Amino acid sequence: MGGTKGGCYIQYAVICEKCNLYMHELFFIKDLVQKIISIAREQQASKVVSVTVKLGALSHVSPDHFREHFVHASHGTLAEGAQLNILVMTDVTDPQSQDVLLENIEVVE
């Protein structure tokens, strides 16, 4: 098994049609999954086993909502079925408190 660490984050604002909420995670998660796939391909991986992300205290996305969109965005990719570990940060004064950070991915070669 191999692993890759990152510190990636992207911010977008869209309306989640399914949830009808003003959120930024829909496009973000699609881009995040593309970044995960790119890293997995660089590692010559056949599958992404797990993904760890940190949700900033002010990121305005719940772990459940993030998970739901991640499952949808990863469908049909190397990341489909990956274990998603979500760490929720609580410090609103942290410089990354509005971000969602890719902390780690674990892949199988």
pLDDT of residue 17: 56
Cβ neighbors of 51 (< 8 A, separation 6 or more) are 36, 70, 79, 82, 83, 84, 85, 102, 104, 105, 106
DSSP 24: S
Least confident of 57-61, 69-73, 87-91: 57-61
At residue 16, the pLDDT reads 54
Please tell me the predicted confidence (pLDDT) of residue 33. Answer: 92
CA dist 13 and 28 (Å) reads: 9
For domain 2-108, the question of CATH label 3.40.50.2300 is answered with: no
Q: What is the DSSP letter of 59?
A: S
Question: pTM surpassing 0.85?
Answer: no
What's the confidence (pLDDT) of residue 69?
A: 85
Q: Which two tokens stand for residue 37?
A: 């796939």
State the pLDDT at residue 18: 54
Q: Report pLDDT digits (tens) over 28-68.
A: 788 889 999 999 999 999 999 999 999 989 887 889 888 98
With beta carbons less than 8 A apart as the criterion, state whether 15 and 23 touch. Answer: yes
Domain ranges of the chain: 2-108
For the chain, how far is it from start to end, CA to CA, in angstroms? 6
pLDDT, mean of residues 10-37 = 64
Backbone angles phi, psi at 89, to 5 degrees: -80, 145
Beta strands in 1-109 (DSSP E): 2-8, 14-16, 21-23, 47-55, 83-88, 100-108
What pLDDT does 22 receive?
A: 44
Average model confidence (pLDDT) across the chain: 80
* 79/8: higher pLDDT: 79
